[in-house]
Amino acid sequence: MHATLPTGRTRVLVVGAGQAGLAVAYHLGRLGLRTADPASSAGTVGLHEVVVVDRAPGPGGAWQFRWEALRLGAAHRVHDLPGMGAMGLHFADADPERPARDVVAEYYGRYEAHHGIHVDRPVEVVRVADGGRDGGADAGGGNRGGGDGGGGDGGGADDGGADDGGDRGGGDQVGGDQVGGDRGWAGDLVATLRAADGASGELRTAVLVNASGTWGTPFVPWYPGRDRFAGRQLDTTGYRSAEEFRGQDVVVVGGGTSAIGFVLELDGVAASVTWCTRRPVDWRDESTLGVESAVAAVAEQDAAARAGSVLPSIVHGTAVPVSPRIRSGLDRGVLVPRPVPERIEPDGVRLADGSFHHADAIIWATGFRPDVRHLGPLGLRTPAGGIEVAEGEAIRDPRVFLAGYGPQASTLGADRAGRSIARRVLARLERRAS
């Protein structure tokens, strides 16, 4: 697909059109900040307020890349986007036997069209830097075209956040902490964009909303001997079908729903499946699983984000709901977790309990990390390895907002988180213009 890169200036650049990015774009639109339309704008960014880019080839965020066998009914519940109900569209009403990637891609595409959220794709944001103070108070003028980058999937967990609008006085108040005011932040940010054909360009923006998700940065832990394994190794993003492993001995590492799904799909197809988890799995009956564990996990994520620490694993803080499919796997003795590898040998894994398991392939379903490498030039990372974020706002640079980061990583609260960030973005723009 050919994409004409958006160039020139915009007031807001949203990086990623997954659940988090679309929720923010929707609420920005309700506040009067509309997205640029590559088909009707005749290339002029100055006519519009917001540019949304995504690196994926089509709608659907990271869901479009998930494996075909993952049915909507077996996936983590996919929550509706804000304003989807007004379209008469609900994921709960969709056929649970359809591939999740197809349903989400279709619904997100219809959502973008209905709400006039124009996404430039496929375009990747490869670098964001400080453009200095010559950007002026109002980002206008310049030329643009079509394109998209980011590919973020995620959305917001209930951020518990105050909806922050209007002028916030001598500095941007976030959760009671002043995060910078105007000292040095009056200039634009400059995003370097790259299209699928390799063409590159720059877009200046007053505010950046990063919703790039995690799909582009899978986490694979290091174990001694991993580099000497003679078989195939892949992470969650590389999994396509159980048929690829027919007749093979497979080791699946990870304690989340993706790992569980792989084990269930491989059962009866692979010659053997060894499932390894770092800690015992907290199984909970779906009918009794309340919000307590989810709230605790969100609180843990929020504390880490505010401290600028590396975000903890979502699996660590949440229970696994026992669906009928999982119950069947438990009853059949398929879902029996073993300890993680102590070391990896050329033809298999040696577990912490001393047992050896032959392996033709190892699937690392060990989670993801926030895809924020393009923000490196801004110096947002703390010595602790994370980014200080409060209510979606970067403490170290109040021109930067992170949607779907930390406590917002759940899809449940995308509406509230998107609304909160949109209002904060508007307040930042108003303060910049004053």
**Has residue 287 been placed in a domain?**
no
CA 283 to chain centre: 25
Whether pTM exceeds 0.75? yes
**Whether residue 209 is found in the same domain as residue 271:** no
**Has residue 413 been placed in a domain?**
yes
168 has pLDDT over 70:
no
Please say whether the beta carbons of 184 and 241 come within 8 A.
no
Q: How far apart are CA 190 and CA 372, in angstroms?
A: 15
Q: How far apart are CA 238 and CA 363, in angstroms?
A: 9
**Whether residue 275 is found in the same domain as residue 349:** yes
**Whether residue 96 is found in the same domain as residue 232:** no
**Whether residue 31 is found in the same domain as residue 85:** yes
Q: How far apart are CA 320 and CA 313, in angstroms?
A: 14
Q: Which residues contact 371 (CB under 8 A, 6 or more apart)?
A: 152, 212, 213, 214, 215, 216, 217
Q: Quick one: pLDDT at residue 2?
A: 54
**Whether residue 49 is found in the same domain as residue 131:** yes
**Whether residue 181 is found in the same domain as residue 109:** yes
For 311-328, write each residue's pLDDT tens digit.
Answer: 566 555 567 888 889 999
Biggest CA pair distance of the chain: 67
Q: Quick one: pLDDT at residue 79?
A: 87
* Strands, sheet with 356-358, edge to edge from the N-terminal-most edge strand: 341-345, 348-351, 356-358
Q: Quick one: pLDDT at residue 409?
A: 57
For 350-389, write each residue's pLDDT tens digit.
Answer: 998 999 999 999 999 999 999 999 999 999 988 877 888 8
Residue linked to tokens 């108070």: 137
The stretch 57-67 carries a mean pLDDT of: 95
The stretch 403-421 carries a mean pLDDT of: 75
Residues in the chain: 434
Count structural domains, the chain. Answer: 2
Q: Which of 336, 364, 392 is the last residue of a domain?
A: 364
**Whether residue 275 is found in the same domain as residue 384:** no
Q: Quick one: pLDDT at residue 142?
A: 35
154 has pLDDT over 70:
no
Label residues 63-93 b or e (16+ Cβ within 10 Å = b): bbbbbebbbbebbeebbbbbbbeeeebebee
The pair phi, psi for residue 283, each rounded to 5°, is -80, 135
Looking up residue 350, the CATH number of its domain turns out to be 3.50.50.60
Give the pairing of strands 189-195 and 200-210.
antiparallel
The stretch 80-103 carries a mean pLDDT of: 95
Q: What share of the chain is helix, strand, coil (3-state, %, to 5)?
A: 30, 25, 50
Mean pLDDT of the chain: 81
* Residue 329 domain boundaries: 226-282+319-364
The stretch 316-345 carries a mean pLDDT of: 89
Q: How far apart are CA 210 and CA 17, in angstroms?
A: 10
Q: How confident is the model at residue 183 (pLDDT cuts 50, 70, 90)?
A: very low
**Whether residue 271 is found in the same domain as residue 386:** no
DSSP class of residue 329 equals H
For 126-138, write each residue's pLDDT tens digit.
Answer: 999 998 754 443 3
**Whether residue 62 is found in the same domain as residue 154:** yes
**Whether residue 260 is found in the same domain as residue 182:** no
**Has residue 351 been placed in a domain?**
yes
Please say whether the beta carbons of 401 and 325 come within 8 A.
no
**Has residue 301 been placed in a domain?**
no
Select from 82, 4, 62, 59 the least CA-distant residue to 37: 4
**Whether residue 170 is found in the same domain as residue 249:** no
Helix (H) or strand (E) holding 19: helix 19-30
DSSP class of residue 307 equals H
Write the DSSP string, 181-247: TTTT--SPEEEEEEETTS-EEEEEEEEEEE---STTSB-----TTGGG--SEEEEGGG---GGGGTT
63 against 162, higher pLDDT: 63
The stretch 183-190 carries a mean pLDDT of: 74
Select from 380, 379, 281 the least CA-distant residue to 330: 281
3 has pLDDT over 50:
yes
CB-based burial of residue 404 (10 Å sphere; 0-12 exposed, 13-18 middle, 19+ buried)? buried
pLDDT exceeding 70 applies to what percent of the chain? 74
**Has residue 422 been placed in a domain?**
yes
**Whether residue 392 is found in the same domain as residue 342:** no
313 against 250, higher pLDDT: 250
pLDDT exceeding 90 applies to what percent of the chain? 60
